[in-house]
Amino acid sequence: MNTVHERPFDLLNKSIGQQVLIRLKNGDDIRGKIVSFDVHMNLVLDGAEELEGGGNTKAKLGTILLRGGNILFVSPA
Amino acid sequence: MNTVHERPFDLLNKSIGQQVLIRLKNGDDIRGKIVSFDVHMNLVLDGAEELEGGGNTKAKLGTILLRGGNILFVSPA
Amino acid sequence: MNTVHERPFDLLNKSIGQQVLIRLKNGDDIRGKIVSFDVHMNLVLDGAEELEGGGNTKAKLGTILLRGGNILFVSPA
Amino acid sequence: MNTVHERPFDLLNKSIGQQVLIRLKNGDDIRGKIVSFDVHMNLVLDGAEELEGGGNTKAKLGTILLRGGNILFVSPA
Amino acid sequence: MNTVHERPFDLLNKSIGQQVLIRLKNGDDIRGKIVSFDVHMNLVLDGAEELEGGGNTKAKLGTILLRGGNILFVSPA
Amino acid sequence: MNTVHERPFDLLNKSIGQQVLIRLKNGDDIRGKIVSFDVHMNLVLDGAEELEGGGNTKAKLGTILLRGGNILFVSPA
Amino acid sequence: MNTVHERPFDLLNKSIGQQVLIRLKNGDDIRGKIVSFDVHMNLVLDGAEELEGGGNTKAKLGTILLRGGNILFVSPA
């Protein structure tokens, strides 16, 4: 279906061990380093932080398992 | 079921490497170049930008993996 | 289950190449010509337009791929 | 599971060609004649009308394909 | 999994032909006699009525096919 | 996946015939005795009651079949 | 798909018998010790507590079976 044989989840695979920014459906932003992911886009993040509107840290969350269904988008930071 | 043997996802396939406008269910607009997509309409976009009501850039997002379930429509820009 | 052997999606098939009005779950109306559809009611529309309450054009969208899950109903225009 | 061997969708089958009232999840009422239905409760209605609170016609919709997921209940009119 | 070998849908089966009260997710109450049900908890009710907060009849609905996904609980009246 | 070979639904199985408190997604609390459950967490409760914020009875519901999808958590009372 | 052969649910497995903080989709926080989990992220927690914004205990819940669909993230406390 996709002539370049690349798939959206390749971006997650390439981001293992790297910082990503995650925009949630509820509008909140979370930043952290991707440890692992699965087909539901469930993610484990290390050093996760909730961000304020301006991008500053609002709260340190540490290691979290984030349910994929809450995600709007994931972006390499 | 469809006599012309064309399918909705053909539009995504033809848009690989091209700019698209994406209207989200929450009313926000995102513009970017489609890198890849899958059967859930998950999309990787390069040079993604959040747009204001008037179509101007509100924030640069860079490369993002957008979950398909958040999409209202996708339109070649 | 249906003695007349007709199915709801037959209406979409008969509407290929024709104008339809689409009422979305969020209350918005979109009008356009159906190019293709799939089993999820994902639709490609040509010459799509967002409509105001009175039926006038609010914005021209061009060609769009609309996710079926956002649809309340589709009506041949 | 059901000793009388009757199933809910039998009501739709018996209503083919008849007027029904449909209450949507968003509270709106639609009236029309059932042309066809499928296992998702997707319905094609002929002569469909949006109704006001009092049951009068608010808008004529003509023939519509209504997505079953929007339905609260269907009642033979 | 359940040592007494009873299942939740047994309550619906025993209620065929009996009055039940149905609390919907939107907070509304509907009362009627169960005619049939299926695995999705879709129900056909005879003599269905919408109830006011105090339990009095607000509107007579007659026979309805209620989509199971809208139900909070079903209770033998 | 779980080294202790215990599963969440074991708690329901051990609670058959016992009082439980159920917090619904809409914030309401229901108390009752579990009669049966299934894989969707659909529950039949005997002597079910809606509770006020303080834990007092707001309304007696009797026997109910509660759809599992409405549940936030179940707790042995 | 994941070169390090680690999966998000490994974090739950490693947390059996340990305190975790759970942020719900509705914004509430719950803390407790994980007893068991399943593929839907349904969790049994011992000594569960609802937390206030500042992290203090608002209410003691005891043992609860939490439906996974309500979870935003799980974090080892």
Question: What pLDDT digit, counting tens, does each position of C16-65 carry?
Answer: 999 999 999 999 999 999 999 999 999 999 999 999 988 899 999 999 99
Partner-chain contact F24 E72, CB within 8 Å: yes
Please state, in angstroms and rounded to a whole number, the distance separating the CA atoms of residues E26 and E43. Answer: 17
Yes or no: say if D50 and D14 are a contact pair by the CB < 8 Å rule. no
Name chain C's partners: 3 or more CB pairs within 8 A.
B, D
Residue F64's CB is within 10 A of a number of other CB atoms, namely 25
**Nearest CA to F67 among F44, F35, F49, F48?**
F44
In this structure, which long-range contacts are made by residues D55-58, counting pairs with CB atoms below 8 Å and at least 24 apart in sequence? D55/D29
Question: Would you say F9 and E1 are in contact if contact means Cβ atoms under 8 Å apart?
Answer: yes
Q: Check E6 against F35: CB less than 8 A apart.
A: yes
Q: Which residues contact residue A73 at a Cβ distance below 8 angstroms, ignoring those fewer than 6 apart?
A: A22, A23, B48, B61, B64, B65, B66, B67, B70
Specify the pLDDT at position G2.
46
**Strand residue runs (E) in chain F:** 19-24, 29-37, 43-51, 57-66, 71-76
From F13, F36, F61, residue closest to E6, measured CB to CB: F36
CA A66 to chain centre: 8
Q: Which residue in G68, G67, G66, G69 sits closest to G31, CA to CA?
A: G66
Beta carbons of B76 and C62 less than 8 angstroms apart: yes
Q: Which of residues 5-64 of A touch G (CB under 8 A)?
A: 9, 13, 16, 24, 26, 35-39, 42-44, 48, 61-64
Residue of E nearest to F40 (CA): E8
Q: Does G71 touch chain F (CB under 8 A)?
A: no
Please check whether residue D45 is in contact with residue D34, taking contact to mean a CB–CB distance below 8 angstroms: yes
> Is D71 in CB contact (< 8 Å) with chain C?
no
What are the tens digits of pLDDT across the range B12-59?
999 999 999 999 999 999 999 999 999 999 999 999 999 998 889 999
Which residues have C-beta within 8 Å of that of residue B57, sequence separation ≥ 6?
B49, B50, B51
For residue G24, give the H/E element and its range.
strand G19-24
| Distances, alpha carbon E17 to alpha carbons B30, F16, G17, in Å | 54, 28, 49
Is G24 within 8 Å of G41 (Cβ atoms)?
no
**Which token pair is A53?**
């509107």
Closest CA to A76 of A4, A5, A13, A26: A13
Are B24 and A72 an interchain contact pair (Cβ–Cβ within 8 Å)?
Answer: yes
Tens digits of pLDDT across chain D (77 residues): 444 568 999 999 999 999 999 999 999 999 999 999 999 999 999 999 999 988 899 999 999 999 999 999 999 97
**Domains along chain D?**
8-76 (2.30.30.100)
Buried b (16+ CB within 10 A) or exposed e, D36-55: bbbeebbbbbeebbbbeeee
| Chain E to chain F Cβ contacts (< 8 Å) | 60
Task: Give the closest residue to G23 by CA, choosing from F2, F55, A59, F69.
Answer: A59
Chain G touches chain A, with at least 3 Cβ pairs below 8 Å, answer yes
Query: Given F3, F69, F72, which is nearest G16 (Cβ)?
Result: F3
| Separation between Cα atoms, residue E54 and residue G15, nearest integer Å | 48
Residue A76 has pLDDT above 90, yes or no: yes
Q: Are G17 and G24 in contact (CB under 8 A)?
A: no
ipTM: 0.93
Helix spans in chain G (H): 10-14
Yes or no: say if A48 and G54 are a contact pair by the CB < 8 Å rule. Answer: no
pLDDT at A3 over 60: no
CA distance B10 to F13: 49
From chain G, pick out residues whose CB is under 8 angstroms from the CB of F25.
Answer: 26, 70
From the list F1, F2, F11, the residue facing G65 with the nearest CB is F11
Quickly list H helices, D1-77: 10-14
Residues F18-77 pLDDT 10s: 999 999 999 999 999 999 999 999 999 999 999 998 889 999 999 999 999 999 999 998
Residue with more model confidence, E55 or D29: D29
- Cβ distance of E36 and D10 shorter than 8 Å: yes
Q: Which of B7, B72, B76 sits opposite C38 (nearest CB)?
A: B7
D and F touch per CB criterion (3+ pairs under 8 A): no
- Helix (H, G, I), strand (E, B), or coil: what is residue E13? helix
Comparing CB atoms, the residue among B43, B64, B70 nearest residue A25 is: B70
- Decide if G44 and F68 are in contact by the 8 Å CB cutoff: no
A62 contacts in chain G (CB < 8 Å): 75-76
State the Cα–Cα distance between residues B20 and B72, nearest whole angstrom.
13
